[in-house]
Amino acid sequence: MVVPWGGVSCCLSAAALYLLGRSSGRDADILKSVTRVNQLKDLAQLLDSAYKVLPMVVAISGRVGSDTPINCEYSGLRGVIVEETAEQHFLKHNDAGSWIQDSALMLSMCKEVPWYLDDGTSRVNVIGARGATGLVLTVGSEVFEESGRSLVRGTLDYLQGLKMLGVKRIERVLPTGTPLTVVGEAVKDDIGTIRMQKPHKGPFYVSHKTIDQLIANLGRWARWYRYASMGFTVFGVYLIAKHAFQYIMERKRHWELRRRVLAAAAKRSSKEEEGSNGVSENGSDNSKKDRTMPDLCVICLEQEYNSVFVPRRIDQVVKTFRH
């Protein structure tokens, strides 16, 4: 029996989507249970009163600030996290004789300075934001610099099958003054400075969305995964059931044909025995073999077969026709 890989793949996909849905739903439930801090000035008092509850995961909001912000080179923005990438774009000569456009990464670097959230009542430092979920940097600048038209350089590139077009530089930045929501572990050091960091076990979000929007978004994804999982499950079960039904019907037709062939052979042999007076020992053995394996046509089940089809390879068939 051939394994119905289509149905099995659908069922496996359904299981993966179900697990993703459970994960998103669990994350939404965790965010619902997180302590919300309306004003940053209350966080220090909350940590002092709940020092035995470790780690303490809270949700805070404020605007991005830094004492030493980065001045972006191309966009002119002031930010606390700046990512710069440079891609070389060129035309490449392929084997078919045509030119296709391609690119290669030349530069990728990231700068980050110490920064904090400020809501007007207090400040809270944020550590390790680049590893948080939900952080999206704003595209501050996107510049394309065309390559120089040096004759020697262009000739060498052409001989190598290349035509340099230029360099695309993209600058992504987290600007100062950006409102953010941070969900993570709140820690207070010996000198009273509070920081938000990734907990050893728990959620860590740095997002432009509010915590209510994060919960709603996770809930939508959980429902979508669940519905998709149900759809893949139904379709996978249908494919498997269809394959199983076809296999059962095929086996049933096989056994029905076998039964009809044996019944017709028995009927024919009984008629032949009535018309004959005796059979030799060797003849008896051959008749038993004929009853077991009758020489009947599998189409009409009445006459003896006079043709057989022998499977042959294509090269043998070609040789036969050539001869």
Residue 72 backbone dihedrals phi, psi, to 5 degrees: -70, 140
pLDDT in tens, 35-52: 999 999 998 888 877 665
Boundaries of domain holding 89: 36-208
The residue with greater pLDDT, 54 or 96, is 96
Grade residue 294 by pLDDT with cuts at 50, 70 and 90.
Answer: low
pLDDT for residue 253 is more than 70: yes
Q: Tell me the three state secondary structure of residue 59.
A: strand
Residue 147 lies in a domain: yes
Both structure tokens of 196 = 């938000």
The residue with greater pLDDT, 281 or 102, is 102
- pLDDT for 48 equals 79
Residue 147 backbone dihedrals phi, psi, to 5 degrees: -75, 155
Residue 271 lies in a domain: no
pLDDT for residue 120 is more than 70: yes
- pLDDT for 297 equals 66
Is-contact 80 176, C-beta < 8 A?
A: yes
- pLDDT for 209 equals 93
- Count, residues in the chain: 323
- pLDDT for 50 equals 67
Q: What count of other Cβ atoms lies within 10 Å of the Cβ of residue 157?
A: 16
Residue 79 lies in a domain: yes
pTM: 0.69
Distances (CA, A) of 160 to 21, 93, 96, 270: 50, 9, 15, 86
The domain tally of the chain equals 1
pLDDT in tens, 57-87: 899 999 999 999 999 988 889 999 999 999 9
pLDDT for residue 111 is more than 50: yes
Residue 142 lies in a domain: yes
Grade residue 178 by pLDDT with cuts at 50, 70 and 90.
Answer: very high
Instruction: Calculate what percentage of the chain has a pLDDT beyond 70.
Output: 80
pLDDT in tens, 308-320: 666 655 555 444 4
Cross-strand bridge partners of residue 99: 93
- pLDDT for 116 equals 95
Over residues 116-141, the mean pLDDT reads: 92
Most confidently modeled of 40-54, 84-98, 149-163, 224-238? Answer: 224-238
Q: Tell me the three state secondary structure of residue 139.
A: strand
- pLDDT for 305 equals 67
Residue 119 lies in a domain: yes
Over residues 204-222, the mean pLDDT reads: 94
The residue with greater pLDDT, 208 or 90, is 208
Sign of CA dihedral 311, 313, 317, 323: negative
Q: Which of 16-20, 44-48, 107-111, 118-122 has the lowest mean pLDDT?
A: 44-48
- pLDDT for 156 equals 59
Q: Terminus-to-terminus CA distance in the chain, angstroms?
A: 40
Residue 279 lies in a domain: no
Average pLDDT score over the chain: 83
Q: What angle do CA 297, 298, 302 make, to 5 degrees?
A: 50
Residue 272 lies in a domain: no
Over residues 171-186, the mean pLDDT reads: 94
Over residues 201-218, the mean pLDDT reads: 92
Grade residue 200 by pLDDT with cuts at 50, 70 and 90.
Answer: confident
